Chain A
Amino acid sequence: MKNRVSSGLGRRQLVQAGLGAAAGGVLLPAAVRSAAAAPAALGTWPAGSSGDSVFVGITSPLTGPYSADGKDHALGYELAIEEINAGGANAQAWGLKGKGVLGKMVKYAIADSELKPNVAVQAQTQFIQKNKAVMITGCVSSATAVALEELAQRERVLNMVGASGANETTGKNCQRYAFRTQPPAYMACKALAPVVGKHYGRGKKVAYLVPDYVYGHSVHQAFAEFTKPFGWTEVSKQVVPLSATDYSSALLNIANSGADLFVNIEFAGAAVNSTKQAVQFGLFKKMQMIVPNISSFQAQETGAQVMEGVFGTMDFWWTLENQFPLAKNFVTAFQAKNKRPPMWGAHIGYMQTYLWALGVERAKTFYPPTVIKTLEATKADPMDSTLGKVWYRAEDHQLVRPVPVVRAKAPKAMKDKNDYFDIVSMVPGEEAINPPAALGCKLGSYT
Chain B
Amino acid sequence: MPSPADLLSQAFNGLGLGALLALVSSGLTIILGTLGVLNFAHGALFMLGAYAMYVVATASGSFLLALVVGAVFMLLVGVALERGLVRLFYSRPHEDQILVTFGAGIVFTEAARAIFGANALNAPAPAWGQGIVRLGFLFYPIYRLELIGIIALLLLGLYLLLYRTSIGLVVRAGIEDARMVGILGINVRRAFLAVFATGVVTAGVSGMLYAPLVSVEPDMGSNFLVQAFVVIVIGGLGSFPGAVVGGLVAGEIIALTSAFNAAYSDVMLYAVMALLLVVRPQGLFGSEGRV
Residues of chain A whose beta carbon lies under 8 Å from any beta carbon of chain B: 63-65, 67-68, 70-71, 212, 238-241, 243-246, 248-250, 252-253, 255-256, 269, 272-273, 276-277, 280-282, 297, 300-301, 303
Contact = CB atoms under 8 A, between A and B. Distances in A.
Interface string B196-228: 000000000000000001110111100110100
A212 B14 CA distance: 21
Nearest to B9: A252
Contact of A245 (B5, B10, B113, B223): B223
A246 B213 contact: yes
Interface residues of B, number: 45
B266 A67 contact: no
26 contacts: A212-B263, A238-B258, A240-B265, A241-B263, A241-B265, A245-B223, A246-B17, A246-B20, A248-B13, A249-B17, A249-B258, A252-B9, A256-B9, A256-B138, A269-B215, A272-B215, A276-B214, A276-B215, A277-B213, A280-B141, A280-B213, A281-B140, A297-B120, A300-B119, A301-B120, A301-B122
B117 interface: yes
B186 interface: no
A109 to B, nearest CB: 20
B113 A249 contact: no
Interface in B130-186: 132, 138-141, 143-144
B228 to A, nearest CB: 13
A67 B139 contact: no
B262 interface: yes
Given A67-B218, A243-B266, A281-B139, 19 more contacts: A63-B110, A240-B265, A244-B266, A246-B214, A248-B16, A248-B17, A248-B255, A249-B254, A249-B262, A252-B9, A252-B258, A256-B5, A256-B9, A269-B219, A276-B214, A276-B215, A281-B132, A297-B120, A300-B119
A70 B113 CA distance: 13
A71 B113 CA distance: 11
Contact of A282 (B132, B261, B265): B132
Contact of B223 (A70, A243, A282): A243
A163 to B, nearest CB: 15
Contact of A252 (B20, B138, B215, B224): B138
Contact of A256 (B6, B261, B263): B6
Nearest to A240: B262
Contacts of B110: 63
Interface string B1-15: 000011001100110
A245 B220 contact: yes
Nearest to A296: B119
A191 B106 CA distance: 42
Nearest to A246: B17
B171 to A, nearest CB: 31
B230 to A, nearest CB: 12
Contacts of B262: 238-240, 249-250, 253
A255 B219 contact: no
Contacts of A280: 125, 132, 141, 143-144, 213
A63 B120 contact: no
B6 A253 contact: yes
A342 to B, nearest CB: 15
A151 B14 CA distance: 44
B259 interface: yes
